[in-house]
Every structure is written in C-alpha cells, then in structure tokens.
Amino acid sequence: MSKYSDYDFKPFLKEAIKELGFEEPTPIQKEIIPLILKGKSAIGQAHTGTGKTHSFLLPIVQRIQEEKQEVQAVITSPTRELAQQIFDTLNQLIDKTDISAKLFIGGTDKQRTIDKLKTQPQIVVGTPGRIQDLVKEGALLVHTAQILVVDEADLAFDMGFIEEIDGFASHMPESLEMFVFSATIPEKLQPFLKKYMESPVHIHMNDKRPVAEGIDFILVPVRSKSKNRRLVEVIEAINPFLAVIFCNTRKNAEAVAAYLAEQGIRAGQIHGDLSPRDRKKMMKQIRDLEFQYIVATDLAARGIDIQGISHVINYEIPEDLEFFIHRVGRTARAGNKGTAITLFEPEDEDAVVRVEKMGIPFVQKDVKNGEWIELKERHARQNRAKHENEIDAIAKAKVRKPKKVKPGYKRNMRWEMDKIKKKERRKRNRSK
C-alpha cells in the first residue's frame, strides 16, 4: 500500500489518520500493518522514530470486536513513560469509539486498579511487572487475548522483564499472535521467541541512513583537560533548546549533574535510582521546559519521547554501541535538525572507528573561547605516523651495521638512512 487511503480501515480510523495528517505509511508500517491484519506473528527490527507504534496500533484497533467486552490485545513496554506514550497514541485513534483501553504501570495504586477491573478492557497497555501482578491476582483476564505486542524487547530483556512477560503470556491462548519490536535481537532472547512464535516473519528495517539525516555529528577530543571541564566548554559553545547529556552509569550521571550545578548550570536527571514520584515530577519539569540540560543514562532514557531535543552530548561512548544510535536518534525528530556531540579520549579510538562503520559521519572539532574550530581529519595524524614507521623500517632494512666498525660509523649510518627516508617520502608524495 502506498497511501493510507488504500487500506480498508474502519471509518473512525480513516478519520483519525486524516486528523493526524498521515498520508503515506512509513517502511515498517507497510510491512507490519498487513501482517497484523492477517494475524501472522512477526518480529520487527527497527530503531526509534520509524513509525513503529502506529504500525501495530492501527491494525490492532481495526481488529477489535467492540461487541466483545473482554481483553483482546495486550501491549507491553519496559518503561512507564513509553507505555504512557503508547496509551496516549492509542487514545488518539479510539477517542470517538466505544473501544475500551486501560493503562497499567507501576507507581500507581494497585488495589484501586484491581477494584476498577470488574469490567475487562478490550486493549491493555502496560509495563510487564504491573500486568503480571494483575494477572496473578486474578484481576486481569488475559486468556481471551489473541494478540500480544512486546515493544522494545531487547530493553525488556536488559531490564530483566522477560520472565514477567513469560508469566502472563503463558495464560494466553495457544493460537496467540505475537508481535515483537526491537532494535536488536540478542541471542539470549531467542528461547523466549521460539517458545511463543512459530515461523514468525522477520522484518529488518535498514534504517541506519535516516538516523544520520538532519544530524551534525561532532567529535571533540578531551585532550589534557578534565572531561568535566571539556563538557562545560562544549556547553558554553552551544545554546540548545534542550540538550541531553548521556552517561554510562547512574553514578557518573549524578557526578556530572553535581559538577554542572557547581558551575552554575542547572540540569535535570533521569536515571534508574529515581523513585516513581521523583521520576514523574522530573518528566513534568522537563516537559514544562524548566531545564535546558538533562543528564541521563541509557536504560532510564530509552523509550522516553521528549520533544524539542536540539543537542545530544555523549559524555561517554556507550559500551553497547547500539545505544549510540538510540542516543543520537533523540534529536532531529519530525524533520527538525539536530547536533550530536561526542567527547572522546585516546582509549575510545576503537569504539569511534566502529561507530563510523555504522554509518556515522563524524567531523572532529575543538572548542576555544566559546567558538568551534574544525580540526584536521582524525586519521590524518595516525596515517602520517604509520607512514613514518614504514619508512623507518625500510631505511633500517637497507642500512646495515658494517662488519668492521670505524670511528663515526653511527653518524654515517644515520646519513645513509636519512637519504633513503627522503627518497622514500618523495616517492610516496609523487604517487598521491
């Protein structure tokens, strides 16, 4: 299908799509929508910002039988914020219908939720732990659900939620249709997939290129300065609408935020140690634009859709380089431009090279007095050093120590070697 109007959606869905301004489905939507409409289980491998959420919500809503007041589809996501976003998006589609949907996430009153489940919702959206709790309590009846969506499956695995998903999926019908969405498919996730999915269609979207579109990738060497000082210099050289500074650990995120506070730079924090109440308060402050800078960790920030991020700063390069793509994908959303700045030290060279092989076009720059200065290509000095080493080896191989040494023989050897080196350099320069 090349246009949304080509799908035989119900009138209210067509109206909702029109109001959202959608005309042409994204590549993943073209692949996934027909599969869910046909009831064929699938694995959708795609990064954030590809239109993934509507790829499963639209056909699920299309298939809901409004006359049956029972759970027909369960959609699970590993973070409360992402579950909330999916639920909000779902409500945009079913707003003018009698389809019932409920959101179940941690940080809310469980008993009150149980009390409200006397009538079962037709679509369930929630985090794995809370859904599993409600199923165990016998309050949420998922045995009638024909569809299960596992969003951000690799993150769910990293956060240890696969057991909870397995717990409530085992209560669902044998004919369950499962739709798994993930940026990567870790090997350790395979047993879970094989348990519930028989010959699923695997959709792998090659979306490396769109990640780089609209983003300037700047590489800033830390050099002899402290990384914290370097970060402040970078901050002084940009005037972001909103910048997210990524650290690899909660401890580092807290330390960076504390250092910035000492420098008079107020920054919000998003990491796994925040209580549900503090996390909710922080998200509200961020959406109310109370902060210009946010210090975050990967697991805490992934799945959070914060509008208006103009800059991403990698204080550290992530150990799992897939997270680099997730990080930079936070900026340049919805056709806007963005900047991704990465601080790097000599020991990061290997990781930087691997990131470049993922299609990221770095430009190396320095910051002096609040101004950006473009540096020579990062590899130029390395290549020069490599060539010099090769030339030295050639000269040493050609000039041997004489069997009978005379006074001044070392000086004569150096002269001979210098002549050979000059000749070799001229030859190489001519061949360029």
Q: Are residues 74 and 164 in the same domain?
A: yes
Question: For residue 379, which amino acid is it?
Answer: H
Q: Are residues 163 and 213 in the same domain?
A: no
Helix H or strand E segment including 165: helix 162-169
Q: What residues form DSSP beta bridges with 293? A: 243, 267
**pLDDT the model gives residue 300:** 63
**pLDDT the model gives residue 302:** 65
CA atoms within 13 A on the CB side of 5: 3
171: burial class by Cβ within 10 Å (0-12, 13-18, 19+)? middle
Q: Are residues 249 and 364 in the same domain?
A: yes
Q: Are residues 137 and 253 in the same domain?
A: no
Q: Are residues 305 and 356 in the same domain?
A: yes
Q: Are residues 354 and 386 in the same domain?
A: no
* Of 399, 397, 388, nearest in space to 422 by CA: 388
**pLDDT the model gives residue 208:** 47
Q: Are residues 162 and 279 in the same domain?
A: no
Q: Are residues 241 and 308 in the same domain?
A: yes
Low-confidence spans in the chain with pLDDT less than 70: 1, 47-49, 206-212, 299-305, 322, 334, 377-389, 428-432
**pLDDT the model gives residue 428:** 66
Of 375, 396, 412, the residue at which a domain comes to its end is 375
Q: What is the DSSP letter of 117?
A: G
Q: Are residues 78 and 111 in the same domain?
A: yes
**pLDDT the model gives residue 181:** 92
**pLDDT the model gives residue 301:** 64
Q: Are residues 300 and 193 in the same domain?
A: no
**pLDDT the model gives residue 66:** 95
Of 185, 206, 227, the residue at which a domain comes to its end is 206
Of 332, 357, 375, the residue at which a domain comes to its end is 375
Provide the number of structural domains found in the chain: 3
Q: Are residues 138 and 235 in the same domain?
A: no
Q: Are residues 174 and 56 in the same domain?
A: yes
Q: Domain residues for 247?
A: 209-375
**Phi (first) and psi of residue 293, to 5 degrees:** -130, 140
> Residue 368 is part of a domain; what is its CATH number?
3.40.50.300
104: burial class by Cβ within 10 Å (0-12, 13-18, 19+)? buried
**pLDDT the model gives residue 209:** 46
CA distance 271 to 250: 6
Angle between helices 250-262 and 227-237 (to 10 degrees): 60
**pLDDT the model gives residue 123:** 98
Question: Is residue 20 within 8 Å of residue 7, measured between CB atoms?
Answer: no
**pLDDT the model gives residue 379:** 57
